[in-house]
Chain A
């Protein structure tokens, strides 16, 4: 059974058909790419998957469970975490705290225990710190743990966002243009990190990307979106050589 299965998904904004009859199947452990020209509806699709928009029609199944009508927080609790095209970190919080907020739903103590500093507060906070540092270490961010998130360099902020998403312990990770604004070196490093995350955490990843080198380098399968519709789906090498895809990107 596929981890994520989307059937006939569609949404309209007024007269604009943003996504139409979208189908996708992602198996567990896959690194799946979603590409397409600007305005093709890629980010809209992410917003549909994470419950930011309610789909007009169609259904979304995660691990066999219908999550079509879920709210954003419930989608996250069901096991989908995401990053954003324009970085959305908790800017005033420290790098460590950003990840600790991601751990919020896995480590529990009551507000009163927190206010009165009962033993459980110290115990759980210690566990959270250890877990968060572990995650930061994966992304080579452990040296910056006390920095304010907004003071990190751009590339590190992208990584921190992925670390925060991973902290919620998802089954599926959605990355919205993780390499946007990065130089070739940073992109290469990011490619390694994404592959590392896939292997180390046995993570299923769906990523939107414009950088063809990155897509061709790490994605096993691709879906190409054009004007809200699936142009073609399949193995990366097949898709990238398809005349329809070349036409969509470069024109006739």
Chain B
């Protein structure tokens, strides 16, 4: 082949690759928008049961959690089992902010927006503080220590009492009586009883918006200078050091961003419930591991995949309830079967080949090969 033809072909190939990349990146945003529009239309027509309407916000929350944990597990390459802890920080700081400023900000949207920022900030700081000791460790050790920190956060929140009266805020780690509130005082965080009476500010629209922003920030982060540095550190720490990358800085950056988005999900979670308590069920290691299952199932390092996994696995138990009495009774058995099937379908080389052949968007967009005459 002469050089010119080779160059043209190469150019063409690069162009195609670039187009594929753009399609891949923008489909995510398009799908999120489409889901919002369709679901909204279905709600208006009344074709979604109230059970599923109640699931919409949790679905977004789990998708945000899965995407953010994937930043730590897939992009930074460190197994974190304390993600629910950061969600807990976000949930409580967000709800606390709303309770304190309820009289100041009458505009619900503005207050909620600020509450999310507040929760994001605190969860990010928690990520930074915990990251400093934890990110010195690697592999299994890091996983165990993050697990411990997650539990510590949950237990700390359980003994935290904060009240507010005319003299300002009072904090105690013993009991609500120790706060010494005046007659007009109000206990905001009441230890193990948590926070009650948070307004239900979370809506499907805000949740979808948050999901959209999460994907946008994480995707753009990955494809920026800092994201490349993080992935380089994941692939080879020694080489990364030898070309002058600041390992600690970029590890902490990725870990804090991941924690911050978990915090945002936490704020949504807190504003979707009347009573917020830090129990093992919602902020314990079970939750952390469930988020990790979303990530592993959807693909480590695959942001879109982990969100899809989060949605499928959250919907599945509810869907199985409606099938037949037999399936409904053995719901968790089928849940496990689906999990195994998805794991195989996602990972085995033959299955990947099959999917590439029939389920890739770009195969449909490509020109069909012309038949030889």
List A residues at the B interface (Cβ < 8 Å).
50, 52, 72-73, 76-77, 81-82, 84, 88-93, 97-98, 100-102, 104-105, 107-109, 111, 114-117, 121, 124-125, 128, 143, 145-146, 164-165, 167-168
Contacts and interface: CB of A to CB of B under 8 A. Distances in A.
B29 interface: no
Nearest to B233: A90
Given A101-B245, A128-B225, A164-B243, 14 more contacts: A72-B242, A76-B241, A89-B239, A92-B231, A92-B235, A100-B228, A104-B245, A105-B244, A114-B223, A114-B224, A115-B217, A115-B221, A125-B225, A145-B14
A116 B225 contact: no
Contact of B225 (A92, A109, A167): A109
Contact of B242 (A82, A98, A104, A111): A82
Nearest to B235: A90
Given A90-B235, A101-B232, A73 B221 contact: no
A35 to B, nearest CB: 22
Given A93-B231, A101-B232, A77 B239 contact: no
A98 B226 CA distance: 13
A89 to B, nearest CB: 7
A238 B21 CA distance: 57
Contact of A168 (B217, B220, B228, B243): B243
Contacts of B241: 72-73, 76
Interface residues of B, number: 30
Interface centre among B220, B235, B240, B247 (most CB of A within 10 A): B235
A77 to B, nearest CB: 5
**Most chain A beta-carbon neighbours within 10 Å: one of B17, B238, B244:** B244
B287 to A, nearest CB: 27
B239 A90 contact: yes
A88 B226 contact: no
A145 B228 CA distance: 15
B217 A93 contact: no
A100 B217 CA distance: 21
Nearest to A146: B17
A79 to B, nearest CB: 10
B10 interface: yes
B44 interface: no
A91 B225 contact: no
A228 B17 CA distance: 51
